[in-house]
């Protein structure tokens, strides 16, 4: 059913009438222009804006059931305060250094314990699935959080089409390795490429989202263009960016932060205010963008999705499987 041939760009099929009103969203370009006009932005570091592919508007429906009702962070916050070590380890590095990254054309290789495997154009992977907007809180293991209106498709729906076998107990994900376009990959801060994994039932859970956009437009490079993961009850580092490979495995796959520091970052990485990171508390989180006096708010078990996901871990010692 999956045709291995390139398709016109994902955005090419979007009808103008389906486009979400631009005015709804704070556009970074507009903010920048306003800042420049107001003289608040001196001759700062030139973001390589002109080399960026235009962000295409997407059509989607809001999934209210799975969305938080908290106010989303600004587009500016979401696209300038990032963790994406392939572009550098500072929060501003991904926005500053991802201008040369080319997120199109893009293919994803599906392999392992499934009846259907192969390399597929991103458009073919996504085409049968209507896009949804879901407002999820991203809770980073560094004890900060943001609220982000993601656009994507349920991961489980995409995976099911490949007919995983009964031996598929886990799903392994791999990010792209392109040192020529990702300057951070020239340094061994992590073992490249970045890898992550989920248990198959976590991957199939309706909350797990394959993300292609935010604030109604395709993903900016710094947020993991063109395809990244979001399982909102887990710490942010599970949300692997710029995915090029998905493998169904029988054994638990490696994950980058667990490989780097196994005592600090577990495979499960479920948000849990009761299990501290060895070097800091996880009881509270700092909401990015809340102003000069950024509020510290209590972290919720499973990032607020206890009702939906606690059953996945019944009987497991969450201090051991952290």
Ligand X SMILES: Nc1nc2c(c(=O)[nH]1)N[C@H]1C(S)=C(S)[C@@H](COP(=O)(O)O)O[C@H]1N2
Question: Binding of ligand X at residue 84 (CB under 6 A)?
Answer: yes
Smallest separation (angstroms) from Mo ion to the CB of 303:
13
Q: How far apart are CA 99 and CA 115, in angstroms?
A: 38
Smallest separation (angstroms) from Mo ion to the CB of 172:
19
Q: Are 4 and 120 in contact (CB under 8 A)?
A: yes
41, 115, 246 from 112: Cα distances, Å: 50, 9, 8
CA dihedral sign, ordered 145, 79, 291, 257: positive
Q: Which of 157, 248, 260 is nearest to 198 (CA)?
A: 248
Helices and strands (H and E) in the chain: how many: 8, 13
Question: Binding of ligand X at residue 88 (CB under 6 A)?
Answer: no
Q: Which one of ligand X, Mo ion, none interacts with residue 239, CB within 5 to 8 A by kind?
A: ligand X
Q: Scan residues 130-169 and list those touching ligand X (CB under 6 A).
A: 138, 140
Nearer Cβ to ligand X (223/272) = 223
13, 26, 31, 52, 288 from 41: Cα distances, Å: 37, 17, 11, 20, 21
Helix (H, G, I), strand (E, B) or coil at 298: strand
* Interface with ligand X (CB under 6 A), residue from 11, 67, 83, 258: 83
Smallest separation (angstroms) from ligand X to the CB of 315:
29
What residue number has its CB nearest to ligand X? 236
Instruction: Tell me, by CB under 6 A, how many residues bind ligand X.
Output: 17
Q: Which of 245, 268, 273, 284 is nearest to 111 (CA)?
A: 245
Smallest separation (angstroms) from ligand X to the CB of 3:
28
Q: Which stretch binds ligand X (CB under 6 A): 7-15, 43-51, 77-85, 126-134?
A: 77-85
Binding mask 228-247 for ligand X (x = CB under 6 A): --------xx-xxxx-----
Question: Binding of ligand X at residue 215 (CB under 6 A)?
Answer: no
Q: Which one of Mo ion, ligand X, none interacts with residue 223, CB within 5 to 8 A by kind?
A: ligand X
List the beta strands (DSSP E) in 34-105: 61-62
4, 32, 121 from 117: Cα distances, Å: 11, 44, 13
Site residues, Mo ion (CB under 5 A)? 83, 140-141, 236-237
Smallest separation (angstroms) from ligand X to the CB of 197:
13
Q: Are 197 and 254 in contact (CB under 8 A)?
A: yes
Smallest separation (angstroms) from ligand X to the CB of 209:
13
Site for ligand X, rule CB under 6 A? 82-86, 138, 140, 175, 194, 223-224, 236-237, 239-242
């Amino acid at each position: 059913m999956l045709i291995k041939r390139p398709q016109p760009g994902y955005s090419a099929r979007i009808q103008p009438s389906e486009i979400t009103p631009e005015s709804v969203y704070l556009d970074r370009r507009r903010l920048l222009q306003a800042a420049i006009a107001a003289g608040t932005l001196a001759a700062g570091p030139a973001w390589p804006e002109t080399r960026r592919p235009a962000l295409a508007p997407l059509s989607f429906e809001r999934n209210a059931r799975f969305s938080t009702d908290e106010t989303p962070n600004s587009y500016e916050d979401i696209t300038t305060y990032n963790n994406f070590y392939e572009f550098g380890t500072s929060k501003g590095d991904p926005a500053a250094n991802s201008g040369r990254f080319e997120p199109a054309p893009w293919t994803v290789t599906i392999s392992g314990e499934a009846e259907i495997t192969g390399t597929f154009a991103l458009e073919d992977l996504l085409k049968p699935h209507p896009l949804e907007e879901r407002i999820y809180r991203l809770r980073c293991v560094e004890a900060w959080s943001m609220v982000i209106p993601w656009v994507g498709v349920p991961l489980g729906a995409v995976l099911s089409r490949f007919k995983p076998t009964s031996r598929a107990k886990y799903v392994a994900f791999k990010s792209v390795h392109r040192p020529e376009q990702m300057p951070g990959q020239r340094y061994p801060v992590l073992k490249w490429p970045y890898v992550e994994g989920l248990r198959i039932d976590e991957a199939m859970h309706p909350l797990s989202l394959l993300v292609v956009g935010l604030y109604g437009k395709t993903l900016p490079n710094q947020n993991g263009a063109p395809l990244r993961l979001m399982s909102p009850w887990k710490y942010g580092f599970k949300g692997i960016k710029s995915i090029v490979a998905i493998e169904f495995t029988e054994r638990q796959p490696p994950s980058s932060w667990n490989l780097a520091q196994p005592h600090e970052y577990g495979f499960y990485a479920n948000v849990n205010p009761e299990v501290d990171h060895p070097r800091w508390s996880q009881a509270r989180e700092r909401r990015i963008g809340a102003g000069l006096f950024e509020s510290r708010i209590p972290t919720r078990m499973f990032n607020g999705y206890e009702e939906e996901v606690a059953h996945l871990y019944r009987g497991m010692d969450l201090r051991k499987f952290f």
